[in-house]
Structures are given as structure tokens and as C-alpha cells.
């Protein structure tokens, strides 16, 4: 879904550095403060955190335990409840497969939602092959699940509900606290992929009744290749079966020598998010709204995908009718964003998340996802908005659909040609 960006280190007249990055949902740069915290652990404090008998190991262990506490603090957990993984994909796999295996005697039914990340969906698909039953809840037009649907889906064989806190494409926030409450009442374990939420919006595992949560380093200005999994120890105690064996690290839940520099980075990133969240949120939601307002002022037939009310403050997912996404990205080739268009995906399928909202394929093809972040400025937002208005206007001049719509043709009633050969 990523874009072809060109322009190496050029500057615009107003001094904006190109290319501009607005794809913070895909990944984030490592914050300089995080990098500084990590560096000693590559060369000086390079010990194996599991080496219990010498100072090299102790220094590494100290770094790890500090990080554990920093992560726990960000989500309202105890450090003992944090284990480290290679990233959120592994955390999701460990959570879902770990619970499925551990609670097999109790039941074999898992509930998730159609808009989950592939790390969750593909894991569920694999479990279906092993004989588990999975319910994929639909979402409403605004992207939220219907709590009544969830209630109805739960039965006495349900052992796990896994629903993400914030969606990576449309930024929509699910009602985590209510979902957790429902699960608690029914004695069902609740896992949430919290990757896009942690460090961006308040997230508290106790207030929100969360039992297991996945966290990613590279989404919160930490390094790639490291993540964490929160696993509740009290009220109730949750257990998961390890998926990687070999030494019993991380309380037997995840074997393997710890990626100490990465973990230290993850910890530092969480600490910074904790300190900066309120101010970052205010600044970014203002920037996001500025971008949105400028686009709406300059263009007609522009549509927001997903609820604006229950949404990450820095996300904007927007469709520009009658213009295809990849051609749009080509026009703003000095801006890094992504699109829900089929042309931009490796599989030529349009975004399944947008489809789940009931967005027509044509609007899915016309969508752009903006993920603003810590290093974006107002000048960048203005530049991008103005450029996008120009590009959309130009491409609409080229668009037969725009022409037909302006002539009053109801595009939904047109009998389009059958699939041409080669599709």
C-alpha cells in the first residue's frame, strides 16, 4: 500500500524538506532520544540479559527491566505482566495461538472482527484449519463493531475475543472498555491488538478490562524488530502456551535471547509517549483537522472513511470521488502516504477494511490514508493540502466518471463493460 516517493532532500521555496512523510501508521522514524538510549547497549553494555553471573549480563538485564517498567507504566500494568517479542505480529500470534492452545479443553470458539490486521486474521484462519471455530464480526458504516453482535456471538465454547483498539487504516477506535466488560462478565479472555493506540491515546488495561495486549516498537518512534505482549496476572490470571521453545525466557512464555538494544528502545519510546502524549495529541489533532478542512474547502465530493468521533487524533482516511488512488499518489510524489486502491496493493485487491465499511469499490480505489506524526509541521500540512487539491482537480478533468457525474448520470445505474480479457 506504500507510495512511490521521489525527491531526495530537496526543499520547497518555503523551506519544507522534501519528501514529506505522512505515513506514520506504516512506520515511524526512531526518535533521537530513543536512539541515544539504545546505543550503549550495542557496544558497551552488550551482555546477554540472561547471563546471571557477571556484570555484563547484569547491565543488560538492568536495561531490560527498566524498559519493562516503562512499558508497564504507559498501559497501567505491572512490569511482571510484560513480555518481549520480535514485534506485534509475533505478539498477536502468541496471544491468539497461546490462548487457543492453553484453553482447548474449555472451548474452541474465537471471536474477532473483519477489520483486524492480517496478523490477527491470518492467525485465526490457521486456527480454523486446526479445528477452531472463528466468528468474524462485521462492522457498521462508521467502522465500529456492534456490541449486540458480540453479545449474541458469545457462547459457552468461546475462549477468546480479539478486537483491535485502533484500526491502522481508518484510525477508528473500538469500544474497548465495553468489550472488556462483556468478556469479563462471561469469563472470556479479551485480547486487543493495541499497536496503533498505545502511546497515542490513553490506554489502561485495568480501566479498559483488557487481559492481553500487543504492542509494537516501530509504530511509536521505537526501532523495528521489537514488540511486547501484556499478559494479565491478576483478576483474572491469564495463561498462554509458548509458541517458541528453547530456554524458557520471559517466564516460559517466549524463549530466545532478548533483543536488549531493541527493548531498551521500546522502553524509552514508551516513556517519551507517556510524557508527550497530551501535547502531541493536541497538536496532531489540530493539524489533522487543518488538513481535513483545507481539503474540504478546496474540493467537492470528498468523503471521510470511518467515524470521525471515535478516531485516532492523527489519522485521516479520505476518498476523492472519481479519481483513482494510485494516480493521485503519482501526482503528490513528494509526499509519502498510502492508498486503499487495488493498484497500490501487491494482490490488486482493494482495501478489505474499506470494503467492510460498505464503501463501494470505486471509493475504496479513490482513498488516501494520512497518518500524521510527531515530526510533521503546519507548513507541511498546508503544502500537502494545496498540492492535493491541485492534483485532484487536474485528475478530475481527465476522469470520464467525473464528466458523467457532472452531466447528471447516475453512475450506479450504468451497465459497465464486462471484465476485459486479461483481468
Partner 1 sequence: MAYSDKVLDHYSNPRNVGSMDKNATDVGTGLVGAPECGDVMKLQIKVNPETNVIEDAKFKTFGCGSAIASSSLATEWVKGKTIDEALEIKNTDIVKELALPPVKIHCSVLAEDAIRAAIGDWKKKQGAEVQQPVEAKAGD
Which residues of the chain form contacts with partner 1 (CB under 8 A)? 4, 322-327, 330-331, 341-343, 348, 350, 360-362, 365, 397-404, 409-411, 413-423
* DSSP letters spanning 19-79: SEE-BTTT--PPPHHHHHHHTHHHHTS---TT-TTSHHHHHHHHHHHHHHHHHHHHHT--G
For partner 1, give the closer residue by CB, 300 or 419. 419
DSSP three-state, residue 159: strand
Cβ distance to partner 1 smaller for residue 99 or 388:
388
- Number of C-beta neighbours around residue 365 at 10 A: 24
- 147 Cβ contact list (under 8 Å, min separation 6): 175, 178, 179, 182
Enumerate the β-bridge partners of residue 209: none
Cβ atoms within 10 Å, residue 363: 22
Q: Please pick, among 124, 183, 270, 343, the residue that the annotation labels catalytic.
A: 343
Query: CA 331: distance to chain centroid?
Result: 26
Q: Is 343 a catalytic residue?
A: yes
Query: Which is nearer to partner 1, 289 or 361 (by Cβ)?
Result: 361
Closest distance of CB 331 from partner 1, Å:
8
From residue 337, give the alpha-carbon distance in Å to each of 9, 19, 175, 343: 17, 11, 27, 14
Of 140 and 348, the one with the shorter C-beta distance to partner 1 is 348
Cis peptide before 421 (omega within 30 of 0): no
Shortest reach from residue 199's CB to partner 1, in Å: 32
Task: Report the Cα 238 to chain-centroid distance in Å.
Answer: 24
Cell of 379: 507548513
Minimum Å distance from CB 343 to partner 1? 4
Shortest spacing between CB 371 and partner 1, in angstroms: 21
Nearest-approach distance from CB 393 to partner 1, in angstroms? 13
Q: State the Cα–Cα distance between residues 316 and 286, nearest whole angstrom.
A: 12
C-alpha cell, 167:
484500526
- Cα–Cα dist 417/414, whole Å: 9
Q: Which is nearer to partner 1, 32 or 422 (CB)?
A: 422
Grid coordinates given for 352: 478489505
Query: Which C-beta is closer to partner 1: that of 222 or that of 325?
Result: 325
CB of 284 to partner 1, least distance (A): 30
Active site residues: 343
Amino acid at each position: 500500500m506504500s507510495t512511490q516517493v521521489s525527491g531526495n532532500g530537496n526543499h520547497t521555496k518555503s523551506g519544507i524538506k522534501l519528501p514529506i512523510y505522512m505515513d506514520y501508521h506504516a512506520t515511524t522514524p526512531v526518535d533521537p532520544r530513543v536512539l541515544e538510549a539504545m546505543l550503549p547497549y550495542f557496544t558497551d553494555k552488550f551482555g546477554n540479559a540472561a547471563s546471571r553471573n557477571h556484570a555484563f549480563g547484569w547491565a543488560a538485564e538492568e536495561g531490560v527491566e527498566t524498559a519493562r517498567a516503562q512499558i508497564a507504566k504507559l498501559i497501567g500494568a505491572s512490569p511482571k505482566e510484560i513480555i518481549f517479542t520480535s514485534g506485534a505480529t509475533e505478539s498477536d500470534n502468541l496471544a491468539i495461538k497461546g490462548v487457543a492452545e492453553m484453553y482447548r479443553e474449555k472451548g474452541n470458539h474465537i471471536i474477532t472482527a473483519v477489520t483486524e490486521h492480517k496478523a490477527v486474521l491470518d492467525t485465526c484462519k490457521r486456527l480454523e484449519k486446526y479445528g477452531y471455530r472463528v466468528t468474524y464480526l462485521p462492522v457498521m458504516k462508521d467502522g465500529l463493531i456492534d456490541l449486540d453482535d458480540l453479545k449474541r456471538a458469545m457462547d459457552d465454547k468461546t475462549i477468546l475475543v480479539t478486537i483491535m483498539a485502533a484500526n491502522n487504516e481508518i484510525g477508528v477506535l473500538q469500544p474497548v472498555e465495553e468489550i472488556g466488560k462483556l468478556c469479563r462478565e462471561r469469563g472470556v479472555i479479551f485480547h486487543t491488538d493495541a499497536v496503533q493506540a498505545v502511546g497515542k491515546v490513553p490506554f489502561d488495561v485495568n480501566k479498559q478490562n483488557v487481559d492481553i495486549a500487543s504492542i509494537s516498537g516501530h509504530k511509536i518512534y521505537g526501532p523495528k524488530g521489537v514488540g511486547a505482549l501484556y499478559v494479565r496476572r491478576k483478576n483474572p490470571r491469564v495463561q498462554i502456551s509458548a509458541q517458541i521453545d528453547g530456554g524458557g525466557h520471559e517466564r516460559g512464555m517466549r524463549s530466545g535471547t532478548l533483543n536488549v538494544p531493541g527493548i531498551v528502545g521500546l522502553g524509552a519510546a514508551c516513556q517519551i509517549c507517556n510524557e508527550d502524549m497530551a501535547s502531541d495529541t493536541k497538536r496532531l489533532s489540530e493539524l489533522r483537522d487543518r488538513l481535513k478542512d483545507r481539503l474540504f474547502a478546496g474540493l467537492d465530493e470528498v468523503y471521510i472513511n470511518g467515524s470521525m468521533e471515535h478516531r485516532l487524533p492523527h489519522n485521516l482516511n479520505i476518498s476523492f470521488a472519481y479519481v483513482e488512488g494510485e494516480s493521485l499518489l503519482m501526482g503528490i510524489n513528494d509526499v509519502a502516504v498510502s492508498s486503499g486502491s487495488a493498484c497500490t496493493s501487491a494482490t490488486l485487491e482493494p482495501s478489505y477494511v474499506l470494503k467492510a465499511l460498505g464503501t463501494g469499490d470505486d471509493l475504496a480505489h479513490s482513498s488516501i490514508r494520512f497518518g500524521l506524526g510527531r515530526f510533521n509541521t503546519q507548513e507541511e500540512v498546508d503544502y500537502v493540502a494545496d498540492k492535493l487539491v491541485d492534483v485532484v482537480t487536474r485528475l478530475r478533468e481527465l476522469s470520464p466518471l467525473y464528466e458523467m457525474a457532472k452531466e447528471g448520470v447516475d453512475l450506479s445505474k450504468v451497465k459497465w463493460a464486462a471484465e476485459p480479457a486479461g483481468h
